[in-house]
Amino acid sequence: MAWLPLVLLFFKHHQKVDGSYNVKIRIYHKGEKKYIDTKYFLTDKQLTKSFSIKDTFVKKGVTNLVDSYRDEINKLEGKLQNFSVETLKAHLVALNQDIDIIDFCDLLIV
């Protein structure tokens, strides 16, 4: 089974004008890290004082997303070593989008 750190986080300095923060997933692979933006946004009232997510809807959604990414990483098994962190990010992002093969290849080639 492959293991890859996937961490949920948001950056206080990335606060939008409306006061919300985008929840991101950090991927760490081969000594490099990349961030995947999620469709989830939080405001200060959806966070605890220690800045963890208290909104159950958002928490469940991002937990399901991370679980799906972990499942996909486990399916890659030995192939995971052939991925750079950038191609792994592109692969995971493509799982949750309706993307055609040409667009996916463009993500991998760039």
pLDDT in tens, 20-77: 888 888 888 888 989 888 888 888 888 888 777 888 888 898 888 889 999 998 898 8
60 within some domain? yes
57 within some domain? yes
95 within some domain? yes
For residue 3, the model assigns a pLDDT of 45
Structural domain harbouring 33: 6-109
For residue 2, the model assigns a pLDDT of 44
If DSSP codes are grouped into helix, strand and coil, which group holds residue 84? coil
How many domains are there within the chain?
Answer: 1
Question: Has residue 102 got a pLDDT over 90?
Answer: no
DSSP 32-89: EEEEEEEEEEE-GGGB-TTS-B--HHHHHHHHHHHHHHHHHHHHHGGGGGG--HHHHH
Q: What is the band of 88 on the pLDDT scale with cuts at 50, 70, 90?
A: very high
1 within some domain? no
